[in-house]
Amino acid sequence: MQPRWQHFAHDADIGVRGMGRSAAEAFEQAALALTAVVTDPGAVGLGERVEIACAAGDPEALLFDWLNAIVFEMATRGLVFGRYEVDLHGDRLDAVAWGEPVSVEKHHPAVEVKGATYTGLHVRRDGVGAWIAECVVDV
């Protein structure tokens, strides 16, 4: 299965869903779905590298912390990310995000993501063994 991401409708907010052959790939794809709420991930240059680490007691809490760490990095550094590499080790996530400073002219940001929520928060395997990582983000 090709890793992929998608959005799903949720009242005034938006759901992000990542799918992959592993939980790490699903987390990477969920992060790309988060980026795609703001801009086209394919339009983002990959010149800046940011390391991100999180730890949590279960996969859902780890996804929540991971997506909120990305929102924090985007807000405090003024960056948008177009590529993510995630390593999962039990209750710990170590990742690298690549991106560039956000440019209104280049990225045409659609909305600002305020953060991940516990609504619709799931990390699971589907019926054919693919991993799904999803939640609703507040916009």
> In the chain, how many domains are there?
1
pLDDT tier at 2, thresholds 50, 70, 90: low
Mean pLDDT of the chain: 93
Domain that holds residue 25: 4-138
Whether the per-residue pLDDT at 10 is higher than 90: the answer is: no
CATH code, 15: 3.55.10.10
Q: What is the pLDDT of residue 20?
A: 96
Q: What is the pLDDT of residue 111?
A: 85
What number is the average pLDDT over the span 100-119? 92
Q: Contact 132/124 with Cβ under 8 angstroms?
A: yes
Whether the per-residue pLDDT at 104 is higher than 80: the answer is: yes
pLDDT tens profile 51-94? 999 999 999 999 999 999 999 999 999 999 999 999 999 999 99
Distance CA 71, CA 114 (A): 7
Distance CA 127, CA 59 (A): 18
Residue 134 burial by Cβ neighbours in a 10 Å radius (0-12, 13-18, 19+): buried
Q: What is the pLDDT of residue 110?
A: 79
